[in-house]
Structure 1
Amino acid sequence: MNEPMYGSVEEWVTERFVPMYRRTLGGEFRWCAQWWKHAEAISRLTALWHAWETLRLEPGTGMGVWYRDHLDHQLPILLGARGPFYQCSEDEHLEPHLATVEPAPPGWWSVPAEVPSSDGLSTIG
């Protein structure tokens, strides 16, 4: 198996992603210099990096597949005006507001038992 070209997502972002996929920032595109403080960004960038490491080794269409199936989908979300960096600027990180979560009431996730109906078909009851 081939060794990865980059040893970490941080190395890939710093040495490959940021220098290669430049966009004019502000308005439509956002970036946070402290991208590593955004869990969603870490997850999306890690997925991009892993796919890149795999597909860069595929002869012929590997990188084309990476662009089409991975980067072209993730980039507008990642850098988008309502993406993970939407409150940040390149110079300032703002901690995103977390949504509140309430636990489901007891029994909410229980699967109801199937009850046979008079016509022989099962119904949820």
Structure 2
Amino acid sequence: MAGEPDDVPELDVPVGMFEDIEDLKAQVASLTALVKKVTGGEEGEPGEASASKEEAAGGDAAAEEGDEEEWQYPPFILLLDSPVYDEELRALIEWVEGVLVPGYLAEPSADARWCHLWWEHSVAIARLHAVWLAWQELTDPASCGYTGPSVWHRDHLDPALRELRSPAGPFAGCVKGEHQITHRLPSLVPSAWSHTED
């Protein structure tokens, strides 16, 4: 072609490199969003503080740090009080019954237990809530790149299900004696919202 220099080298770039670049772009976007959130959306260099913002805050800097702490760390569901606990449990039930049960649970057995009233087991609530919080973070490419789902399966879902479904786990009593609950196939899971509320 006319106008192109003759000495332009041909580059043989591996396809995987483009995926790595996309992962890096997602991580940079995530960090940029975090910097904007921490700095209050101010334009400028990271680490620069707005003098007018500091003056306006006055002695409330400690209170603002406390607010950031609440945002930064998700609540442990068993420490929540009503009505916050009830709202969090409703959302958890919706996710477990809508995503986890139909997508990941096979038919219950002696080696892989499951209780269809899992929300009556505080250990199950605590573990499943932790898995759900991790799922929210690790399925968003903007915050974790494209490897997040793999990390979620390996580090969060698989260990939690091993503990919950083991013969010695929290559902062990659901198959024996006085706490026997009829188990059901995951594909037959009724909606968590079919229960009438008082």
- TM-score, normalization by structure 2: 0.41
Which structure 2 residues correspond to residues 23-62 of structure 1 after superposition, within 5 A? 23-57=106-140, 58-62=144-148
- 2-structure distance, mates of 1:21, 1:78: 13
Alignment of 1:86-125 (within 5 A): 86-89=172-175, 92=181
The whole-number CA distance in structure 2 between the counterparts of 1:36 and 1:42 is 6
What secondary structure does 1:29 align onto? coil
The number of residue pairs the alignment matches comes to 88
* Residue aligning to 2:93: 10
Structure 1: where are the runs of 5+ without partners? 2-6, 94-125
Distance across 1 between alignment mates of 2:120 and 2:159: 22
More strand by percentage: 1
Q: Once the two structures are aligned, what percentage of the paired residues are identical?
A: 41
* Residue type of the alignment partner of 2:151: V
Q: CA RMSD in A?
A: 2.1
CA distance in 2, matches of 1:33, 1:74: 17
Structure 1 runs of 4+ with >6 Å offset = none
TM-score w.r.t. length of structure 1: 0.64
Q: Which runs of 5+ in 2 are unaligned?
A: 1-32, 34-89, 183-198
Q: Bigger radius of gyration, 1 or 2?
A: 2
Q: Give the structure 2 partner of residue 85 of structure 1.
A: 171
